[in-house]
Amino acid sequence: MAEPRHRYSTVSLVLHWGIALLVAVQVGLITVHEATEGPMSRAMIDWHKSVGMTILVLTLGRIVWRLMNPAHPLPVEAPRWQNLLARTTHILFYVLLIALPLGGWAASSAGGRAVEWFGLFSWPALPVPLDKSLARTFIDLHGAGVKVLYVLLALHVAGALKHHFIDRDNILYRMLPILRRRP
């Protein structure tokens, strides 16, 4: 019988950590945007949009990869509620990592603002009415989604740390290349 895979594939690792890094960059970009005015503030929003669209594309790619390469099974010894929480958190991550960029794109489209990708090309406007009020609604929903994302991130990190330091299993090892596998 073949030995079970212990780590996720290189593609899974790159997508996971790449998207995580881009989410952190998004926080930095919007923080600088809110702390500045004028051209610097506008540049941060333009970069925020570009990074957001990159996250959208990478997340869609990650979903396709995941469908072709199913996740490792969750620990059978873990209580059912923990495995349910883990699966729900992952599904909500995918939903938000698609919905947040789409919401930002919709807000830009409704506000009549272009969504350029690092100055290389413009994404087409979504078919939403040109309406500043609608754009504001999309931005408000975008902000609420970010707050949910922060809660999910906290749950995700707490779960990973629990597995590593309390359960002392190899769950975190699967996704963190710098860790050594426990015997």
Residue 175 burial by Cβ neighbours in a 10 Å radius (0-12, 13-18, 19+): middle
Asked if 181 and 170 touch (Cβ cutoff 8 Å), the reply is yes
Question: Using an 8 Å Cβ cutoff, are 75 and 171 in contact?
Answer: yes
pLDDT surpasses 90 at 174: no
Dump pLDDT digits (tens) for 98-132: 999 999 999 999 999 999 999 999 999 999 999 99
pLDDT of the residue at 147: 98
DSSP code string of 62-122: HHHHHHHSPPPPPPTTS-HHHHHHHHHHHHHHHHHHHHHHHHHHHHHHHTT--EEETTTEE
Structure tokens at 10: 């290189």
pLDDT at 4 over 60: no
pTM for the whole structure: 0.93
